[in-house]
Structure 1
């Protein structure tokens, strides 16, 4: 279980990366990305991206020397990012990709030519000298996969529209894939470090996300990558800060509209790099041959169990109550009362809400009544044209419903705020009064109860459940 300090760090990192990425992506894209406001590098160099988060000790080395790397600094062609044992750097690239440089790592930017008007002409060349890097391909890398290359001391890697992680020393390189795919080839022979794009041919091997428990590995002097169980590679060491990186990647992808092929929901890749000073080549588990691997369709995840509930705890003039408070609240958290309903949810200690992006929810269940305040008579109503949108960046929600009863339709509309613990509360000026909550591992469920006056003697009351 991550410590309180690490959870705090994750929250800080996430808030910083959201703000920084939003600032970066609000700027217009320029051909070559040399003159983009806020992304100036030293004169005569093309900007490759921005260090949106820097934690611990990190620096940039180039022809001008070495300088400490700070959050918000631009990164240019010719720069090498260096991290120490406590250093992490999160980079958003000019083609809207994401790179995490982990501790004890060195990543050089040899070439980064990106034209937003013609992304298929992109040319990218990176050099991982040592350590661990995770990358989610941006628009340019996805559009021009034949012009993307990452060199290590012993291997060349190409991408297939990808979220992947690479570990390297001077003598061994391992790579794993979460989404998309990679092609890896030992350097030497027909695969030279001076080349651009992936090295194809008999010495190449591919790895796709359907083998997420495997890694490709090249050792110095080897003629072909081998396929290993992830448990045998240095990529398997998990760190307590893993969630911070995952959240930063989510934020970057959400803001910049990166589509790595499969959304990086729960990455099993390490944030902390092991000490590489004593790393030795692992015994191959099984050889890999040049593969015409086809990525299978993404597996559909089973839906989460319902975690938000409501009950009508008071009788109406013509309807009995359908629950008691004690039964409804047993083992659950009370969100609020709004006569004649109460809303509760299962406690959500592990819920992680998105920090950026607007999401639309779909109505899954509802109950509503038109109530005559003078007589107390309640008429069951139907709900249609339902909409609920939550902007997690601004922590605001908007909702609307069309309710029909006795042959008449009524429009219900509300808006308000979302608290840090996922509770919805309508603004004072909203037409309908709403009390609600979010639930689920990634806030994929929502529910609220509402009340809206109709004229001087009637009101609309109801309860809803939603999912996304």
Structure 2
């Protein structure tokens, strides 16, 4: 049975937030972030003094951290007329929140999303002082362009999408330090705006530039449409009421899991922990493990004194997908149900492994060759690829050239007019691996046959 908030309690909480904001008028607010207008499930507030459950209409101050459990949600109406939602299994710190109602451009806001998911509708402070707004995650820094956006992060990956306005995202590193304030600009930064539908920005630990990828995975809103609807209603209520209008009470604040109806409760502060005289030194996060190889090829036909490669047979029996087969080679790919290809950008891949032969089918001969000057370029915006390489065999060099299209499933297929027949596949979480088999006629009797493996 779906649980509902008591709308009268939510409306009263929003009214208190509104009255507080009006009473303060143009006074400068140095430490108050806002108020918790809705609290559901397991959620705590960690301050310099104590850790305790969050109560309805609790005051959130600069320096506080909001932590939610597996069923926890916290909606916050901020003093600069904005809205923040902290979703389940998340941790968000208000490292700095200084809003000057008399001079919003002087505001300074810095948040840290340690893990999980949050949504923010930027308030007047964030919109007026964009050069002084920063949201850090373990791997990225975000700035705003007057925005309604959501962010999901783990220790190694950050993804963000935009409902209105825009954001700028930059990987943390030497040119963008977590200790900084304001957005990190420059060649390592990328922007995303609301008119770029069904896309999101992604930064992985160690990457030098954000990827613009298809937003077809439920990572930004894992709790589904019910969460989105409740956030929309609460955001509208919070922003309209704190701006002094009548406001719109949330029509429906529901969640997909069953929770008991909220009842008033007495919050008992947890004991104040004794200070640690010797804080433990920070330990840097370990580097992410490289992705396992997911595109494989082997020579299925025996050649000269060399037997056929039986590795692919075992892979196929384990559920690997067959990509292609030509007169000498076969290729397989690990199933890719979660692969997300970049939505735009041209990326260069480097050759990792290859094998090639000059085959004379009439004579029954195959002369081994070596590959050099290899390149593979993929334009994800156009879903097209171009490739070339030199095949050196029998004291001669032959240029192998191919071009073609990339399907939605990441399969590479050469165009009709391509000199080389190319068939292959992309693989990896963000399409960082590739492989293809090629055939190209050298003369009326000789055919170039080969297999390649690539990475970016």
**TM-score (ref. length: structure 2):** 0.53
**CA drift at 1:289:** 6.0
**1:163 is aligned to 2:154:** no
* Match runs of 1:434-445 below 5 Å: none
**Conservation of the 8 A alpha-carbon contact between 2:92 and 2:113:** yes
* Match runs of 1:416-455 below 5 Å: none
**CA drift at 1:47:** 1.3
* Match runs of 1:249-288 below 5 Å: 249-257=235-243, 283-286=339-342
In structure 2, relative to structure 1, the CA distance for the partners of 1:30 and 1:218 (3 Å cut) is same
Alpha-carbon distance between aligned partners in 2 of 1:123 and 1:11, rounded to the nearest angstrom: 33
| Local SS of the residue matching 1:202 | coil
**CA drift at 1:63:** 2.1
Unaligned 5+ residue runs, structure 1? Answer: 35-45, 259-264, 274-279, 291-468
**Conservation of the 8 A alpha-carbon contact between 1:102 and 1:272:** no
**Structure-2 residue corresponding to 1:19:** 15
**Structure-2 residue corresponding to 1:84:** 69
Alpha-carbon distance between aligned partners in 1 of 2:42 and 2:55, rounded to the nearest angstrom: 9
**CA drift at 1:284:** 4.4
* Match runs of 1:69-468 below 5 Å: 69-232=54-217, 234-237=219-222, 238-257=224-243, 283-286=339-342
In structure 2, relative to structure 1, the CA distance for the partners of 1:153 and 1:12 (3 Å cut) is farther
**Conservation of the 8 A alpha-carbon contact between 1:10 and 1:244:** no
**CA drift at 1:59:** 0.8
**CA drift at 1:185:** 0.4
**CA drift at 1:113:** 1.3
Alpha-carbon distance between aligned partners in 1 of 2:36 and 2:203, rounded to the nearest angstrom: 30
Alpha-carbon distance between aligned partners in 2 of 1:106 and 1:174, rounded to the nearest angstrom: 16
**Conservation of the 8 A alpha-carbon contact between 1:225 and 1:287:** no
In structure 2, relative to structure 1, the CA distance for the partners of 1:97 and 1:285 (3 Å cut) is same
**Conservation of the 8 A alpha-carbon contact between 1:13 and 1:244:** no
**TM-score (ref. length: structure 1):** 0.51
**Conservation of the 8 A alpha-carbon contact between 1:17 and 1:252:** no
CA shift digits 1:388-440 (9 cap, x unpaired): xxxxxxxxxxxxxxxxxxxxxxxxxxxxxxxxxxxxxxxxxxxxxxxxxxxxx
Unaligned 5+ residue runs, structure 2? Answer: 245-249, 258-289, 292-337, 347-456
Alpha-carbon distance between aligned partners in 2 of 1:232 and 1:160, rounded to the nearest angstrom: 25
CA shift digits 1:257-304 (9 cap, x unpaired): 49xxxxxx9xxxx9779xxxxxx99644116569xxxxxxxxxxxxxx
**CA drift at 1:239:** 4.6
Range moving further from structure 2, 78-87 or 59-68: 59-68
CA shift digits 1:159-183 (9 cap, x unpaired): 0000000001101101000000000
| Local SS of the residue matching 1:224 | coil
Alpha-carbon distance between aligned partners in 2 of 1:220 and 1:153, rounded to the nearest angstrom: 8
**Conservation of the 8 A alpha-carbon contact between 1:239 and 1:271:** no
In structure 2, relative to structure 1, the CA distance for the partners of 1:142 and 1:88 (3 Å cut) is same
Alpha-carbon distance between aligned partners in 1 of 2:219 and 2:242, rounded to the nearest angstrom: 30
**Structure-2 residue corresponding to 1:315:** none
Alpha-carbon distance between aligned partners in 2 of 1:84 and 1:149, rounded to the nearest angstrom: 25
**CA drift at 1:24:** 3.3
The structure 1 segments of at least 4 consecutive aligned residues displaced by more than 6 Å after TM superposition are 270-273
Alpha-carbon distance between aligned partners in 1 of 2:255 and 2:232, rounded to the nearest angstrom: 9
**Conservation of the 8 A alpha-carbon contact between 2:199 and 2:343:** no
